[in-house]
């Protein structure tokens, strides 16, 4: 009887240990839509779309494993992101194999800003 008791206790101890070892998922994981492009708001981009007929859209997906993708006006690229260094490594959407590394910032309201060569894209998390 004591052996069964100790076996059950050992199993429970292992379960508690493994439950505590789960990796915490970053709050950044999710799908984002473009909120502004070089200071032009999403509302203004929609108005521009109505006037010109050109749809300005952008989607950013960040996965829990550090991978993701970005689709800006139909040009899709894969990416790797690192929350601790606040960087993203983007593949060339043409498939050339080249990569570019950009830094990102997270605002207090959870928006992600990417800045490269003086251009800024801001993404807001979809609900």
pLDDT tens by residue, 64-79 = 999 999 998 888 999 9
**Cβ contact 67:79 at 8 Å:** yes
Q: Has residue 9 been placed in a domain? A: no
Q: Has residue 74 been placed in a domain? A: yes
CA distance 58 to 32: 8
pTM above 0.85, yes or no: no
Q: What is the pLDDT of residue 7?
A: 38
Average pLDDT, stretch 80-93?
93
Q: Has residue 12 been placed in a domain? A: no
Q: Which domain holds residue 84?
A: 26-125
Average pLDDT, stretch 84-104?
90
Q: Has residue 113 been placed in a domain? A: yes
The number of folded domains in the chain is 1
CATH number for the domain that contains residue 114: 2.40.128
Q: Has residue 16 been placed in a domain? A: no
Written as one string, the DSSP assignment of 11-23 is HHHHHHHHHHTPP
Res 5 pLDDT > 70: no
What is the average pLDDT value for the chain, to the nearest integer?
82
Assign 3-state DSSP to the chain and report helix, strand, coil percentages, each to 5.
25, 45, 35
Q: What tokens appear for 94 in the block?
A: 């043409």
Q: Has residue 108 been placed in a domain? A: yes
């Amino acid at each position: 009887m004591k052996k069964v008791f100790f076996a059950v206790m050992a199993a429970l101890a292992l379960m508690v240990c493994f439950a505590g070892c789960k990796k915490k998922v970053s709050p950044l994981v999710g799908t984002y839509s473009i909120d502004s492009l070089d200071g032009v708001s999403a509302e203004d981009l929609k108005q521009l779309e109505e006037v010109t007929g050109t749809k300005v859209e952008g989607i950013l997906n960040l996965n829990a494993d550090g991978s993701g993708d970005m689709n800006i006006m139909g040009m899709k690229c894969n990416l790797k992101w690192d929350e601790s260094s606040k960087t993203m490594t983007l593949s060339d959407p043409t498939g050339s194999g080249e990569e570019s590394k950009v830094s990102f910032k997270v605002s207090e309201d959870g928006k992600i800003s990417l800045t490269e060569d003086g251009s800024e894209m801001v993404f807001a998390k979809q609900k």
